[in-house]
Amino acid sequence: MSTIRKPERLQKIISAYGAASRRVAEKMISEGRVTVNGITAKTGQSAVFGIDVIAVDGEPLTEKNDRVYIMLNKPGGYLTTVSDDRGRKTVMELVADAGVRVYPVGRLDCDTEGLLLFTNDGAFANAMAHPSGNKIKTYRARVRGDAAKAAKLLTEPLIIDRYTVHALHAEVISLTTDGGVIEIAVAEGRNRQIRKMCAVCGVSVCELKRTSVGTLELGSLESGQWRYLTQEEVLLLG
């Protein structure tokens, strides 16, 4: 006896079949990039996968078993976005040779370097991005100002964009005549959070690099290079 498929929201279908995260899928729908049976989809629309023909950017959505998970050492100067209408460089250029369409998980600011994940597994992307996942992210920030004082203040409650946040860990790695390097670990991932936290604590960030996400560490991966995650790494992240 065959299973009867029920209509589901388009963004959920697109995410489940690895074309994009739900948030990105919603944006694609609003931009008119998704069609159902050849007709441009509308926000909030539902469909039945396997009966309705759903296409993203003209490419029909198909059921795939080949899930891909990639870690990139993002250089500065690249936007974490799929495309940019101003022609600026995006991280998609750096993973163009992956052989499959993947999407960034979360984001790093244009000037921020380091560990950035990509996948075509929408469920994995959603789990990684959701606050309940509580994935600890570690950064190294080269700052100008009193680094020792800032490191102490970073672990105390700070108001950033009306939210109370704090570093789980902040340690001075080295000191210079005008500042130093601080290792900072946070559970949140709000917009420009580390830079804003440092500013509140009296230092300015000159360079910022993410070195780990959860159990996954950047290691010796060269800037601008990427590699596939092992099955064990994916399981540990999940």
Q: Which of 52, 109, 146, 178 is catalytic?
A: 109
Rounded CA-CA distance 36/16 in Å is 16
Full 3-state SS string of the chain = CCCCCCCEEHHHHHHHCCCCCHHHHHHHHHCCCEEECCEECCCCCEECECCECEEECCEECCCCCCCCEEEEEECCCCECCCCCCCCCCEHHHHHHHHCCCCEEECCCCCCCEEEEEEECCHHHHHHHHCHHHCCCEEEEEEEECCHHHHHHHHCCCEEECCEEECCCEEEEEEECCCEEEEEEEECCCCCCHHHHHHHHCCCEEEEEEEEEECCEECCCCCCCCEEECCHHHHHHHC
**Contacts with 89 (C-beta within 8 Å, 6 or more apart), sequence order:** 77, 78, 79
Specify the amino acid at residue 154. Answer: L
Look up 146 and say whether it is catalytic. Answer: no
C-alpha 26 chain-centroid distance:
16
Catalytically annotated residues: 109
